[in-house]
Structure 1
């Protein structure tokens, strides 16, 4: 390896890293072949998050985009189709006592239902769920009904 084995090892790693993209370029279709039309990301509706990103079967979802004081975590989806999605998870809710920055998060098991899919304004070729319903299955935040329905942003 010569007088500086470290330099030789770094050079070898750099050469290997450069070879990977070259190998992929050879596998790319030639310029004469037509490019296939873009395909829709999914046949089923998506859930649009606070950052306006479409998601399918997310593991977590922020309900309170402004302050983060209510979120769904540990989501496990039982079904997800063209009409509705149903899953289970936990609603982590800040009690904001004595105020939100000093509050405590409490966890409540929930069943989650997404429905009423509509074309998404940002991408009309994509449909998104427009309603979310939570059913608290064991305890719930103070003053909250057992079933809560929220409209979802477009």
Structure 2
């Protein structure tokens, strides 16, 4: 009987420690909320629709309201105070017959970030203000070869 009680106590203690460790890890802010390691504070950031700042993100949501357009697999060739350039894929929902039943299509793109200015939320941080997406080949219906968007700020 004592062995069972001791075993149960050890198991419960281990479970509590594991839970505490996991809670601490998940309570930490996301890594993209600050300037990532290996970068300097003088590098401009890309602000997403959740007001998180990133440097050289791999993915970026363009259609924040419904998620029907996002950049994926971004490989950054340049990230400087003047501009940033990457190649990747734009995943766009065709929304046919409507968005919930639509199909996502991938389009090869080059992404260019330009126009830096202080971020209103953190005036000491420079942020990019404009994104241009150039479609390499095919593009979604109604899109131009080059689409330019203002960025959140």
TM-score range with shorter-chain normalisation?
0.7 to 0.9
Alignment of 1:2-151 (within 5 A): 3=3, 6=7, 10=11, 42-151=41-150
Q: 1:95: how far off?
A: 0.6
Partner Cα separation in structure 2 for residue 120 and residue 152 of structure 1: 11
Partner Cα separation in structure 2 for residue 96 and residue 89 of structure 1: 22
Give me the TM-score of the superposition, normalised by structure 1.
0.76
Partner Cα separation in structure 1 for residue 96 and residue 67 of structure 2: 15
136-145 or 113-122, larger mean C-alpha shift: 136-145
Q: CA RMSD in A?
A: 2.4
Partner Cα separation in structure 2 for residue 89 and residue 12 of structure 1: 47
Partner Cα separation in structure 2 for residue 13 and residue 41 of structure 1: 40
Q: 1:46: how far off?
A: 0.3
Runs of 5+ unmatched residues, structure 1: 18-39
Give me the TM-score of the superposition, normalised by structure 2.
0.76
Runs of 4+ residues over 3 Å off in structure 1 = 2-14
Find the residue that maps to 1:6 and give its secondary structure: helix
Q: Match of 1:26?
A: none
Partner Cα separation in structure 1 for residue 40 and residue 10 of structure 2: 42
Runs of 5+ unmatched residues, structure 2: 19-38
Q: 1:11: how far off?
A: 8.6
Find the residue that maps to 2:3 and give its secondary structure: coil
Q: Match of 2:24?
A: none
- Matched pairs, number: 132
Structure 1 pair 7–49 and aligned structure 2 pair: CA distance change class (3 A): same
Partner Cα separation in structure 1 for residue 49 and residue 40 of structure 2: 19
Partner Cα separation in structure 2 for residue 116 and residue 90 of structure 1: 23
Higher helix share: 2
After superposition, give the CA deviation of every residue in 1:50-98 in whole Å (9 maximum; x if it has no partner). Answer: 1100011111000011111110011111111111110011000011111
